[in-house]
């Protein structure tokens, strides 16, 4: 019933030039992915998503913990695991000096397909991903969307049962991103494939995932179906922007006494609270903030989103977490790319 299972994953990296100091990329991460689902690892850059994918795809070894894909221990039997998985990394693995068709045939040979079978599979995938007209063009001439479709095709040459997509739409324009979303959905529905998708796009996870896990600082802090996680935040979200930064305790005291207003969270000038009737609560919220000497510049009322879910479990807005990617995490990402 589960295609992916990981328990207690820990991974640290040495800081460049400081061999005694290490940065923690994963801090006891647990993960279970049901078979046949699209499962999203959602989190900002530096949260630990790519490190998780690299461990599950046998590209790196954890300091602690266990990981299985389709029941195969990826640490004890990496060669067996590679036969059942397809991987689309953040950076394209295609040879830019070869044609699209040549890349696919070579990939087939790497997985043990004979030449005839590899050519037939290449032509099948080129047609499916609408690349037939570009099959004999060098990959360096492909657009970003075309190259990404080829990357996915390369990951599917050997008919894997589990497909790992690490930030598959980063850098794509909106039209190409939408097309990729449609293809990912089709793979799970028609191909009966398990897809593990890592992404830092809230909309991507909300739109595609049957289930998702929010990753923050190397740990999973929330997991469930997107609608379930949003539904746990009952009522409306009242979002207020203040004219100036205010102390968290100061704002919480001002709003905490209001009837029907709860779960007040403050991040700089941004204040979020929940109410069963957000529209009715707005006048009282604005009056309380003004009386406390922290007047608002804008206010909005909306149904809960994944941004509010992230805020609930981490204590900060998703956009703030993206901006706060620490230097240590950036070094970790560089180590992953080069190491």
Q: What's the CATH code of the domain at 281?
A: 3.30.70.100
Q: Does 148 share its domain with 217?
A: yes
> What separation in angstroms does the CA of 250 have from each of 122, 245, 289, 306, 331?
63, 11, 10, 26, 36
* Residue 334 forms part of a structural domain: no
Query: Which contiguous run of DSSP H or E holds residue 301?
Result: strand 296-302
* Residue 204 forms part of a structural domain: yes
Q: Does 258 share its domain with 198?
A: no
pLDDT tier for residue 325 given thresholds of 50, 70 and 90: low
Q: Does 239 share its domain with 225?
A: no
* Residue 336 forms part of a structural domain: no
- Residue in 154, 179, 20 with CA at minimum distance from that of residue 94: 154
Choosing from 197, 214, 229, the residue where a domain stops is: 229
Q: Does 14 share its domain with 77?
A: yes
CA dihedral 93, 76, 334, 45 (to 10 degrees): 90
What's the full length of the chain, in residues?
339
Quick: pLDDT tens for 152-186: 999 999 999 999 999 999 888 888 899 899 989 98
Whether the CB-CB separation of 302 and 236 falls below 8 Å is answered with: yes
Residue carrying the six token digits 């539904």: 231
Choosing from 196, 229, 262, the residue where a domain stops is: 229
Q: Does 225 share its domain with 238?
A: no
Mean pLDDT of 127-131: 94
* pLDDT of 338: 31
| CATH code where residue 68 lies | 3.40.50.300
Quick: pLDDT tens for 6-57: 999 999 998 877 767 889 999 999 999 999 999 999 999 889 999 999 999 9
Q: At what angle do helices 174-190 and 144-156 cross, to 10 degrees?
A: 20
Number of compact structural domains in the chain: 2
Q: Does 101 share its domain with 187?
A: yes
Choosing from 229, 258, 287, the residue where a domain stops is: 229
Alpha helices in 257-317 (DSSP H): 278-291, 306-314
Q: Does 178 share its domain with 252?
A: no
Q: Does 221 share its domain with 98?
A: yes
Quick: pLDDT tens for 272-321: 888 989 999 999 999 999 988 888 999 999 888 898 899 888 888 787 78
Domain range holding 242?
A: 234-303
* pLDDT of 293: 87
Q: Does 222 share its domain with 284?
A: no
pLDDT tier for residue 332 given thresholds of 50, 70 and 90: very low
DSSP 8-class letter at 275: E
Q: What angle do CA 19, 43, 48 make, to 5 degrees?
A: 25
d(CA 15, CA 335): 9
Give the side-chain half-sphere CA count within 13 A for 180: 27
Structure tokens that stand for 223 in this block? 């997991």
Q: Does 270 share its domain with 141?
A: no
DSSP 213-264: EEEETTEEEEEE-HHHHHHTS-SEEEEEEESS---HHHHHHHHHTSTTEEEE
Residue 334 has pLDDT above 70, yes or no: no
* Residue 331 forms part of a structural domain: no
Q: Does 141 share its domain with 208?
A: yes
* Residue 37 forms part of a structural domain: yes
* Residue 293 forms part of a structural domain: yes
- Residue in 137, 158, 160, 157 with CA at minimum distance from that of residue 147: 137
Q: Does 98 share its domain with 247?
A: no
The residue ranking higher by pLDDT, 142 or 243, is 142
Q: What angle do CA 2, 200, 197 make, to 5 degrees?
A: 25
Q: Which residues contact 260 (CB under 8 A, 6 or more apart)?
A: 275, 276, 277, 280, 281
């Amino acid at each position: 019933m589960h295609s992916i299972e990981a328990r207690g994953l820990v991974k640290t990296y040495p800081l460049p030039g400081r061999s005694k100091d290490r940065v923690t990329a994963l801090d006891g991460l647990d993960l279970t992915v049901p078979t046949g689902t699209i499962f999203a690892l959602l989190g900002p850059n530096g949260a630990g998503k790519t490190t998780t994918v690299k461990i599950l795809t046998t590209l790196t070894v954890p300091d602690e913990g266990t990981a299985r894909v389709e029941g195969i221990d990826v640490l004890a039997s990496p060669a067996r695991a590679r036969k059942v998985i397809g991987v689309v990394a953040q950076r394209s693995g295609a040879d830019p000096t070869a044609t699209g068709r040549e890349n696919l045939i070579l990939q087939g040979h790497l997985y043990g397909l004979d030449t005839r079978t590899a050519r037939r599979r290449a032509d099948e995938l080129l047609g499916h991903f609408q690349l037939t007209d570009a099959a004999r063009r060098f990959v360096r001439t492909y657009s970003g969307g075309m190259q990404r479709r080829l990357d996915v095709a390369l990951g599917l040459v050997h008919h894997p049962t589990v497909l790992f997509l690490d930030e598959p739409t980063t850098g794509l324009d909106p039209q190409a991103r939408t097309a990729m979303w449609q293809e990912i959905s089709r793979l799970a529905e028609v191909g009966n494939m398990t897809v593990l998708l890592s992404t830092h796009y809230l909309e991507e996870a909300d739109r595609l995932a049957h289930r998702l896990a929010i990753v923050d600082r190397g740990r999973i802090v929330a997991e469930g179906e997107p609608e379930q996680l949003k539904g746990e935040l009952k009522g409306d979200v009242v979002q207020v922007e203040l004219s100036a930064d205010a102390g968290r305790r100061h704002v919480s005291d001002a709003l905490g006494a209001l009837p029907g207003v709860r779960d007040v969270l403050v991040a700089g000038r941004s204040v979020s609270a929940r109410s069963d009737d957000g529209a009715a609560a707005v006048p009282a919220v604005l009056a309380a903030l003004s009386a406390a000497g922290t007047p608002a510049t804008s206010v909005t009322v909306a149904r809960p989103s994944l941004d509010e879910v992230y805020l609930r479990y981490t204590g900060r807005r998703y956009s703030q977490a993206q901006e706060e990617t620490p230097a240590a995490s950036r070094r970790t990402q560089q180590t992953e790319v080069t190491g």
